[in-house]
Structure 1
Amino acid sequence: MSSDNLPVKPEEEQHGVVEVAEPIPDPGLEPHEPRITDIDPTAADRVERQVSAMFGLATLLVLGACVAYFAVPRDATIVFGPLTGNANNMLIGIGLGLALFLIGAGAIQWAKKLMVDEEIAEDRHAAHSSPEQIAEITEAFKEGAAESGFGRRKMIRNSLIGALGVLGLPAIVLLRDLGPLPGRALYNTIWAKGIRVVNDVTDRPIKPSDLVVGQLVNAAPANLAPIQEHDPVEYQNAKAKAAVIVVRIKPSEIRTKPGRENWGVDGILCYSKICTHVGCPISLYEQTTHHVLCPCHQSTFDLADSAKVVFGPAARPLPQLPLTVDSEGYLVAQSGFDEPVGPSFFERG
C-alpha cells in the first residue's frame, strides 16, 4: 500500500507543520418525529384551549390593572412581612407583568405544540435577494402563515388579538399621571387688581423707594390666604406661574408701547419671569442695555422697550403686568396679565 492511500491523522506534526484531516461528512437531518398534537386532534384541541385561556386571562389582567388604577386609593399600602409597598403601583405592575408573561407563554406553547416543526436545511446565499428569491420568500411567508394555523385556529387568533388589543389601554390610562391638560391654564394667573408685589425671598411688600435705577428684583404676588389654605400645592403652582421681575429704569430711557403709558410707576416696570420660548425662569439683567437674558437658550428681551425680543428663539415679548401704588404706598397690580404667560405655543392657532 502506497503512502498516498494511508489515512491522515487528525493532527500530525511533521517538522513543525500541522496537517488537519478533512471535515466530518454532513450527517444530515435526523428523521422527523411527530408530536402527539400532530397525530392526535384531541391533544391539539386541548393545547389550543390552553393557549386561548392564557391569552384570555392576559386580557382580564390588563383590564384589571386599569381598574386598579382608578379603584385603589393612591395612599393604600400592602404589607408583606417586613416589606411594604404602594398598593396601587403593585397591583398595576403585577397585573401587567402577569399579562405579558401569559402572552409570551401562550405564544411559546402555540409555536412548540401546534405550529409545523419539521427541520429544514438551506444553503448560504448572497446577501442580496433576486426577484425570484423575493417571490420565494413571499410564498414561504404565506405558507408559514398557513402552517401556523393563525387563520384556521380562530380561537387562538381571536384571543391573541384581544390580548394585544387591550395591552395598549394601560398606556393611555397612565397618561393621567402626567398631569392635567394645559387647556387655557396659562391665560390666567392669580394676579388681580390690588394684589401687592412682594419680594420672592422675604415676602416683603415693595415700595417704589425700595428700588434704585438699574436694580432688578425677583418678585411674586402677595400670599392669598384663602387660596393657600384651600389647596396649598395648587397655590404654590399658581404662584410659580405668576412669578415676575420688577426693574427700575430712568423714565427718559423707556420706550412705552401705546396703551401702556400708565403701566409703570416712576420708571418701575414689571414683567413675567417666565421666558416665552420654553418657559425657563429669567433674571440675568444688564442694566446698561436694559436687556434681560434667558439662561436656557439665550433669548434676550429689552425691558426698556416693552420687553421685546432682541435675540434668540423666543417668539414674543415678555407679558407686562400693569403697576400702580396703593393707599400705603406699596406697589400693586392694576389688573392681571392681558396675555398668556409662558411658552408661545400656547397661543398658536
Structure 2
Amino acid sequence: MTTHEGDNLPEKQPTSGELEAADPIADPGLPAHTWRPTDVDPKAEKRAERQIATLFGLSAVCTVLFVVSYFTLEIGEVTTTIGGLGASTLALGLTLGGALLLIGIGIIQWARKLMADHEIVEMRHPARSSDEDREAAVADLTTGLEESGIARRPLVRNSLLGAVGVLALPVPLVLLRDLGPLPKDALFHTIWEQGMRVVRDVVGTPIRPSDMQIGDLINAEPAAIFETDEEGEPLVEGVDLQVAKSKGAVILVRMGPDEITPGKGREDWGVDGILCYSKICTHVGCPISLYERTTHHVLCPCHQSTFDLADSARVVFGPAARPLPQLPLMVDSEGYLVAQRDFNEPVGPSFWERG
C-alpha cells in the first residue's frame, strides 16, 4: 500500500514560544442607559422628595427624644427599666442611633433617586493629575453639586439642614454634660480644711507626732473621707470620694528639725520635724512615695522627677516644673496631727498658670 506525503498526518501543534493569531476582542461598550422613575415622572420625583424630607424630619424627632430621655429617665438607686433593661441606656441608644440612621438613609435615597444619574468612564492616568484634569475635576464637582438639586430642592435641603442642626447642637452638649459635674473651683481646692486630721491611708487611723520616728514616711489621707453619719453611712462617697482621695492624698515625713530648710513664710508649717506634702507629682500627676531617707529625696516612679523634702520639696531632677505643694500642719487638742488649712496652691500637674 502506497502512502502519499501529507496523507493522514496529525495536524501541526504550536510549539513553545509560538502564539496563535487571535482576533481582537471588540469593545463591549456601555449598556443602554435605563431611566429611573424619578427622571421621567414628575410625580415620582415629588414623592421621592417628600419621602427624603420625612426621613430627615424623623431624624430630628429622634434627636428630641434623645434629649428628653436623658433628662426624664431615672438612673441610680431608682432606675427605670424596660423589659428588665435599663430604660435610659436603651432609649438613648435607640434614639441617637435612629437619628443618625435616618439621616444616612435619607442621603442614600437622595443620591439614588434625585441626584444626577450618568455613567462616567475614567481612563488610567498618572498619580499626579495634570492641571487640566484638576480643573476638569473641580468643574465636575461643581456640576455634580448643581445636578444634585440642592439649590432647587429647598424641601430636601432645608429638612436635611434641620435634622443635622438639631442633632449637632444639643447632643454634644448632653454627652459632654454626662462626663460629670462642672469643676467650678475644684481645680484650686481640695477637701482639706482647718482642723482636719491627717490619717493613715486605707485604715484611716489618726497620727500623733510620737507615732513617727526620724526617717519615717507615711502615706496619708484627709480624715473626712473616712467619716460617717449617725447611721453609719459615709459622708463622702461615689465620684466625690474618688476625687477627694486622689486630690487630698499626702505623704508625711519626719526628719531632724536642723535638717529642714523651710521656705519663706513656712517656718511654722511643720511639727517637730514632721512635714506634709501632696502625694501627686507636679509633672503628670503620678502618685509618689519612693523615699531616700539619707538625702530626704522622694522620687516619682513614672518619669523620675525628684524632690527634696527638706527644702520645701524643691525639684532636684526630672521633668517636673515646680515643687510639691506643702500642707501646713499643727496639733489639735488631743495631740493628733491636723491641717492648718487647705493647700495654698493647686495640686497636680503644672499645666495651668500659678501666682
Question: What's the TM-score once normalised by structure 1's chain length?
Answer: 0.88
> C-alpha deviations, 1:120-179, integer Å up to 9, x for none?
323222222222222211211111111111111111111111222233232221111222
> C-alpha deviations, 1:196-236, integer Å up to 9, x for none?
22111332221222111111000122244459744433245
Map 1:240-259 → 2, pairs under 5 A:
240-259=246-265
Name the residue aligned to 2:294. Answer: 288
Give 1:31 deviation, angstroms.
1.6
Give 1:303 deviation, angstroms.
0.3
After superposition, the Cα gap between the structure-2 partners of 1:265 and 1:69, relative to the gap in structure 1 and judged at 3 Å, is same
**Corresponding residue SS for 2:351:** helix
> C-alpha deviations, 1:20-68, integer Å up to 9, x for none?
7455211111121222211111110000100111011111112211221
Aligned partner of 2:207: which letter? I
Q: Which blocks of at least 5 consecutive residues in structure 1 are unaligned?
A: 1-11
Kept in 2, the 8 Å contact 1:274–1:342? The answer is yes
Asked if residue 232 in structure 1 is aligned to residue 237 in structure 2, the reply is yes
Give 1:335 deviation, angstroms.
2.3
Name the residue aligned to 1:5. Answer: none
What is the number of residues matched between the two proteins? Answer: 335
> C-alpha deviations, 1:72-99, integer Å up to 9, x for none?
112434343xxx3221111111112122
Map 1:130-279 → 2, pairs under 5 A:
130-168=130-168, 169-222=170-223, 223-225=226-228, 229-233=234-238, 234-279=240-285
Name the residue aligned to 1:78. Answer: 81
Q: Which blocks of at least 5 consecutive residues in structure 2 are unaligned?
A: 1-11
Asked if residue 306 in structure 1 is aligned to residue 318 in structure 2, the reply is no
Aligned partner of 1:232: which letter? E
**Corresponding residue SS for 2:178:** helix
**Corresponding residue SS for 1:263:** coil
Separation of aligned partners in 1, 2:182 and 2:24: 69
- Once the two structures are overlaid, the 10-residue window that deviates more, 107-116 or 228-237, is 228-237
Give 1:107 deviation, angstroms.
1.4
After superposition, the Cα gap between the structure-2 partners of 1:184 and 1:13, relative to the gap in structure 1 and judged at 3 Å, is farther
Separation of aligned partners in 2, 1:219 and 1:322: 14
Asked if residue 123 in structure 1 is aligned to residue 123 in structure 2, the reply is yes
Aligned partner of 2:294: which letter? T
> C-alpha deviations, 1:252-292, integer Å up to 9, x for none?
22111121111111211111111222222111111111111
Name the residue aligned to 2:28. Answer: 27
After superposition, the Cα gap between the structure-2 partners of 1:160 and 1:266, relative to the gap in structure 1 and judged at 3 Å, is same
Separation of aligned partners in 2, 1:152 and 1:175: 37
Aligned partner of 1:312: which letter? G
**Corresponding residue SS for 2:316:** strand
* Identical-pair percentage: 58
After superposition, the Cα gap between the structure-2 partners of 1:323 and 1:122, relative to the gap in structure 1 and judged at 3 Å, is closer
Map 1:2-151 → 2, pairs under 5 A:
14-16=14-16, 19=19, 21=22, 24-75=25-76, 76-80=79-83, 84-151=84-151
Give 1:338 deviation, angstroms.
1.8
Kept in 2, the 8 Å contact 1:340–1:347? The answer is no
Separation of aligned partners in 1, 2:125 and 2:246: 65
Kept in 1, the 8 Å contact 2:227–2:235? The answer is no
Give 1:119 deviation, angstroms.
1.6
Kept in 1, the 8 Å contact 2:283–2:350? The answer is yes
Separation of aligned partners in 2, 1:72 and 1:277: 41
**Corresponding residue SS for 1:217:** strand
